[in-house]
Amino acid sequence: MADILDGKALAQTLQTDLAQQIAKIKAAGGRSPGLAVLMVGDNPASAAYVRNKERACEKLGMVSLGKHFPANTTQAELSQVIDELNHDDRVDGILVQLPLPDHLDSVALLNQIHPDKDADGLHPMNLGRLVRGEVGLQSCTPAGVMKLLEEYHIDPRGKHAVVIGRSILVGKPLGLMLLAQDATVTMAHSRTPDLPAVARSADILVAAVGRPNLITADMVKPGAVVIDVGINRITDDGGGRLVGDVDFASVKDVASWITPVPGGVGPMTVTMLMANTVWSYLRRVAG
């Protein structure tokens, strides 16, 4: 049976370290790092994510400078707010909570965030730095995955990593991060011929598609490391529960390591957002 990659426990450890770092900054007369999360509309899932981020800020001693907007907020109004935050010295990280209502151009808004305040690591300049192997803010979920592998001494070097899912949020940046650690990376997706065979070739298999229980035991090489990035809410027996893209019940008997859902990659995403904000603060304020 697979060992568990416990993202919840690692996130707690990292957040404790961040809280101590922030306490030292404040004790030395510095200000608290500030994070501004912008949310538009009343999407229940987005609201829950934003609450988690705001609670994490409070827990760590950071300042939450988030703003919630009605669903009919215009592109120009949001653009003006981002410009103000870019010039606000209290703000070290800015994040636009996705998805946005259909009438808004999310790409244009994300590109307007100053690269050095881009807490989610999605600005083209930060993605370019990732491609070039340069220092910069990195996308939170992929960075959390890499932290998990590091914590459990799983070295990607020389391994075949298969990433299923090619989004700009997870799949593409994670592929680059694994490549930087000397893995041989295959990017797979819904149009990949014979996806089960490609998945079975992986030493490290990452599922980041958003389809419940897509990865079954017959798609996993015995002894592979399985990272489940998916978070899907399904309803059965009159109630709802969260499941990943991996059929955990069957795959855990084949893999050597596996992330649970919930409690795997999810807690790491929020923690890396906090870490990015603190890193940005230190770069901007402490030099």
* Model confidence pLDDT, tens digit, residues 46-93: 888 899 999 999 999 999 998 999 999 999 999 999 999 999 999 999
pLDDT at 238: 66
Distances (CA, A) of 248 to 131, 144, 220, 236, 242: 32, 20, 11, 17, 12
Tell whether 165 is in a known binding site: yes
Residue with tokens 């103000």: 84
Instruction: Say how many residues make up the chain.
Output: 287
The Cα–Cα gap between 188 and 104 comes to 29
Do residues 92 and 34 lie in contact, with contact meaning Cβ atoms separated by under 8 Å?
yes
What is the SS3 assignment for 146?
helix
Is 266 within any annotated ligand binding site?
A: no
pLDDT at 46: 86
- Complete domains list, the chain, with CATH: 29-130 (3.40.50.10860), 140-265 (3.40.50.720)
Mean pLDDT for 136-161 is: 98
How far apart, in whole angstroms, are the C-alpha atoms of residue 229 and residue 6?
13
Over range 188-203, report the average pLDDT.
97
Taking the chain, what is the end-to-end CA distance rounded to the nearest angstrom? 47
* d(C-alpha 170, C-alpha 126), whole Å: 14
- Which residue has tokens 């934003």? 50
Question: For 62, left (φ over 0), alpha (ψ -120 to 50), or beta?
Answer: beta
Instruction: Report residue 171's pLDDT band, with 50, 70 and 90 as the boundaries.
Output: very high
Say if residue 167 carries a ligand binding annotation: yes
* Cβ-based neighbour number of residue 271 at 10 Å: 26
Beta bridge partners of 35: 64, 93
pLDDT category at 287 given cuts 50, 70, 90 is low
CB environment 121-151: b (16+ within 10 A), e (fewer): bbbeebbebbeeeeebbbbbbbbbbbbbbeb
pLDDT of 173 reads 97
From the DSSP assignment, how many helices (H) and strands (E) are in the chain? Answer: 10, 12
Residue 154 annotated as binding?
no
Distance CA 159, CA 176 (A): 14
- The DSSP letter of residue 206 is E
Average pLDDT over residues 24-42: 95
Query: In whole numbers, what is the pLDDT of the chain averaged over residues?
Result: 95
The answer to whether residue 129 scores a pLDDT higher than 80 is: yes
Cα separation, 179 vs 156, in Å, equals: 9
Catalytic annotation, residues: 53, 97, 120
Least confident of 93-97, 112-116, 185-189, 237-241: 237-241
